[in-house]
Chains A and B, each alone.
Chain A
């Protein structure tokens, strides 16, 4: 029982960490001498390492908002899990926790989908998708599975 609990919490925290890393690290699209993400485009010219803020279009800001919202909802879900762990009656379901985690996974999926669709405009020819972008796609099923586990899990004592 305790092992199951530990496994679930580790899965949740893994999804949360993936979301964090994917949002923060500057590796959504990388090339030989440049890298870019949701927040800035950096390039290594012969003048040195130089970063510009990302173009202020509406869609990139939507992706930023969706990634941040997914982190917030995943945090709230973790907090609710620990609350419900101590207050739920026997046989009850962690429904609220699961709902928030599923919402977080939907947000990160929407963000990744929007970025993919707009990538011809945002990612220059010299760059390919980077590992932070892949992490965002990996975080989506992880968070979804974690949320579904919460929804079908029943509290036993």
Chain B
């Protein structure tokens, strides 16, 4: 019984990875950089298999407006090979770690002619079926404000102002209502003593006719505040 179970699990483990063997490569979508700076283009992959010793990474570059791509980097057999004839000679450096499935490259001293699409293709034998992934490089003189930042801030500011006006309006209404309520309570509870509180008034006392202590205390506080304001 146990042997049958062990056999079945081994067979299943053998079958399942074979059905999902496509390698998935991840690079960024778009990278922005300033003229003269360095940039690290990252490339990593996901594969069901263990990282083999024959793993390969290759980067190719297609300039904006060009029709063809040229190969600028290749890692194979455990050794990186950088561009020594093309547009990136002496400017390209391999900073990845193939053992950790990282095939990133470092481009130094960028120029406007480096605008273009960089494509990374990784292969992890026997897992070789997959689609290469591309990252677009944009080189700027000064980094522009990202799309949507100003839009969002203008909309947010106007709506926030609107909300503030609504809140202040309701707050004013609430405060005025409380003061009006305070006047009527003082007319009923005390004899003729309104907001112009007299100086002989003693400390906070509870009025006799007032049903709830809370209301009296609130009206007392308000009167004391108004007296302090008058002083």
Contacts and interface: CB of A to CB of B under 8 A. Distances in A.
B151 A65 contact: yes
Contacts of B152: 65
Contact of A65 (B144, B145, B146, B155): B155
Interface string B149-162: 11110110011000
Nearest to A76: B162
Interface in A82-127: none
A53 B150 contact: no
A58 B145 contact: yes
B78 interface: no
A53 B147 contact: yes
B192 interface: no
B148 interface: yes
B151 A72 contact: no
B134 to A, nearest CB: 15
Nearest to B156: A65
A61 B151 contact: yes
A58 B148 CA distance: 9
Given A56-B144, A69-B154, A61 B149 contact: yes
Interface of A: 53-54, 56-58, 61-62, 64-66, 68-69, 72
Q: Provide the main secondary structure of the chain A interface.
A: helix
16 contacts: A53-B147, A56-B145, A56-B146, A56-B147, A58-B145, A58-B150, A61-B145, A62-B150, A64-B151, A65-B150, A65-B152, A65-B154, A65-B155, A66-B154, A68-B155, A69-B158
B147 to A, nearest CB: 4
Q: Provide the main secondary structure of the chain B interface.
A: helix
Interface residues of B, number: 13
Contacts, number: 35
A61 B147 contact: yes
A66 B146 CA distance: 18
A56 B148 CA distance: 8
Closest 4 pairs (CB-CB, A-B): A65-B154, A61-B150, A56-B147, A61-B151
A23 to B, nearest CB: 12
B117 to A, nearest CB: 14
A54 B152 CA distance: 16
Contact of B148 (A57, A61, A69, A72): A61
A72 B150 contact: no
Contacts of B150: 58, 61-62, 65
A24 to B, nearest CB: 15
A13 to B, nearest CB: 22
B160 to A, nearest CB: 12
A79 B165 CA distance: 18
B89 to A, nearest CB: 30
Contacts of B149: 61
